[in-house]
Amino acid sequence: MEKLFAKGNIGKMRLKNRVYMTAMTTGFAGKNGQPTDQLLSYYEERAKGGVGLIVTEIFKVNTVHGNALGNQLYALDPNNLPALAQMTARIHRYGTKMVAQLHHGGSTNNPDLNGGRLVGPSAIPNISGIVPEELTLEEIAELKQQFIMSAAMCKAADFDGVQLHCAHGYLLCEFLSASANQRDDQYGGSLENRCRLPIEILQGIKAVCGPDFPVLIRFSVQEYDPGHPNSISLEEGVEIAKAFEAAGADAIDVSCGNYFTMYGENMETYHYEQGWRKDATKAVKDAVSIPVMGMNNIKEPEFAETLLEEGVCDFVGVGRGHIADPQWVRKAYTGRSAEIRKCMGCMYCFESLLSIGYARCAANPRMGREYSFREQPVKNGDGRPVAVIGGGPAGMQAASLLANRGFDVTLFEAQDALGGALTLAGSTAPYKNKMLKMRDTLALEVEKSGAKVCLGTKADVDTVAALNPVGVFIAAGAKPVVPPIPGIDNAKVVLANDVVAGKVKVSGKVVIAGSGLTGMETAEMISRQGDVTELSLVDMLPQIGAGLYPSIYFNVMRNLAACNAQMYPGHAVKCIDDKGITMTKVEDGSELFLEADYVILALGLKPDKAMIQAFDEKFDRVYVLGEANAAPGRIGISISDAYIAAYCFDPEA
C-alpha cells in the first residue's frame, strides 16, 4: 500500500501518511467546552495508532444560538486554552497533526439548548418543522467574527489548522443551498452570493492567522435531497468547490447529504458499500488543483489504496473505522489488515449518542473508555483453567482476552463454527457481510490467543466441571421468545433464527410476528428469495420497526415496499391454526384473520435462567454475558460485557 503511506501536504502542513480521521461527535467534551480526560485519551489512542491527521469533533463558535450539544468543544473561552493546548501536545507527540472543526448547526440545532431560538439564512422549516429566525446582516457580521476568532484561539492552542463545516445541512451548508437560502441580499440568490459567508470566513481566518495557517473546507458536494428541488446538485457542488479553491482554501473535504436525507447518505448504514459515492469525490478532484480529502465509507485499507491509485482523492477519510479500531493505520502498515476490527455500519455509535448523550461502538468496547482501561490487562492467568460457554461475539471476546492474560481457556460452542449472533445477523442480506467480517476478525483473535475451541460441543455442568475452572463465563443460553398462545406448536410456526440460518425454508403466504430488527431483516431476506407470494409483518407496538435507528428503518422499509409487504402495527397474535393467524387489534379488540402458509416468530430473546442457575449453583465464579444476560440480541452490549468481565476478572477475589 505504497500510496496510502506516502507523505503529503495540505498547504504548509506536512502529513506522514494519506489517512485522516474524520470529524465525529463523541459527547466526551466538558460542559464548559473544554476537552476532558476522556476526550484526550480517546484522541491520543487514535494518534498512537498511526493516523496522519485528526479532524476534531465540532467546536461551537456561538453560545447564544450555536449550541448543537450540551457538551461541545469551545475555543472562545480563554479558560479552555490550556486544556486545548494539552490536547494538541498529546497528539503531536506521535507525529500526528490535528485540525479543529468549526461549526454552527443553524436550524438543525436543538432549541432547548439555545433559549428556544433557532437561526438560519432564511425562515425555512427545518427537519422538525420548526421555522428558524432569519439572521440579520448584523448577526451575520458578528457570527463571521466568531468563526474567525475561534480559529485564532485554535491556532494559539497549537492546532495545525481549522476546518469549516459547510456540510450536512448545518448553517454554512444552509447558506450554500438554495433550498434553505432564499435571501434577497448579498448572501442569497446567486451561487456567488450563497458562497459569500463561508468565503468571507475563510479569508478572514487567513487575514488573522496568516496565509500559511491551513483552512480546510468540508462541504456537501451533493445533498441527495429529492424533497427540496433546489438542494445542491453534483454540478453545483463542483462549482462551489472551485469557488472555495479560488478563495484560498487549502483542501476540500468532500461529503454529501443533509438531515432531510432519510437513508443516511451522510452517515452510512450497513446498506452502503465502500466507495458508493466515489464518483462525486472524483468530480471534485478533477475540477480543482488543491488536495481533495474523500470520505467514501472506507472499511478496509486495501480499498483506500485503490481510491488513491484511481485518483479519486489525495487523502482518504476513515471515520467510524477509527472508532472501531484505533490501530487501523498501524495494522494496515504492518500487514495485519485481517486483524482490524472493521466498522459494521450498525449505527450503534449514533444510536448511543442520541439515547445516552455519548458515543459507544459495538465493535470496540474500549471506545470512550480509554482513560479507564489505559493499562494493559494484568497477565496473571498462570495457566489456570477458565471455561467460556458460547462462541458468539461475547464468547469470542472473553476467550481471547482471558487467554492473552495467561489463562488456560476452553471455549465451548454448540454449532460447528464460531460466530453466533454475528453469523445470523450477517446472513440476512449481502450488504450485511460487515457482520461476517467482524466475526472472522474475532475468530482470528481467538486463534492467535491460543484459546482451545471445542466446536459442536454443548457444554453442560459436568463437562465444564471436568476442567476444574477458576471461572466460568456464560455467553450462551438466550432462547427465542415463544408465547403460550393457541396453535403456537403448529407445524407452520417457525423461528426467525432457523429461517435465517437456512434450517427452514418458507414460501407462499408468510406472516412475521415481531418487527424488531430481526423481524424486519428476516422479511427482507425471504422477500429476495422469490418463493414468498404474500408477506405481512405484525407487531403489538403502534409502529412497525419501533426502536430501529431511523436511517436503518427507512432503508429496510424502502426494500420491503418494493415487495409490497403489508404492515399491521398495533396487532397482537391471538391464535394460529392450519389456515393462518387471528390477530387482535390492541386499540379496540377487533379481530383480523390473515391466511398464512408459514408464521415466523421474531419476538426477541430471553435468558435461559435454568441453564444459568445450574452453573451458578456448581461454580463459585460465574459471569453471565451478552445474550445470556439482560440485553439479548445487542452485539455491542455483548462485546462490552465480555471485555469488561474478562479485563477485570480476578480469580482470587
User: C-alpha angle 354/356/357, rounded to 5°?
Assistant: 65
Sign of CA dihedral 627, 629, 630, 635: negative
Kind and range of the H or E run holding 653: none
Q: Find residue 161's DSSP bridge partners.
A: 99
Place of cell 440480541: 633
Distance between CA atoms of 484 and 575, rounded to whole angstroms? Answer: 10
Q: Answer for the pair 150, 208: CB distance below 8 angstroms, yes or no.
A: no
Q: Answer for the pair 327, 51: CB distance below 8 angstroms, yes or no.
A: no
Q: Which of 170, 358, 553, 623 is catalytic?
A: 170
Tell me, yes or no, if 170 is annotated catalytic. yes
Distance between CA atoms of 102 and 99, rounded to whole angstroms? Answer: 10
Cell (9 digits) for 467:
476442567
Distance between CA atoms of 413 and 587, rounded to whole angstroms? Answer: 44
SS3 assignment, position 147: helix
Neighbours of 178 (CB within 10 A): 19
Cell (9 digits) for 519:
423481524
Chain Cα centroid distance, residue 446: 25
Distance between CA atoms of 144 and 169, rounded to whole angstroms? Answer: 18
Distance between CA atoms of 181 and 175, rounded to whole angstroms? Answer: 5
Q: Answer for the pair 456, 415: CB distance below 8 angstroms, yes or no.
A: yes
Q: Answer for the pair 406, 382: CB distance below 8 angstroms, yes or no.
A: yes
Q: Answer for the pair 280, 292: CB distance below 8 angstroms, yes or no.
A: no
Q: Answer for the pair 572, 556: CB distance below 8 angstroms, yes or no.
A: no
**Catalytic residue positions, numbered:** 170
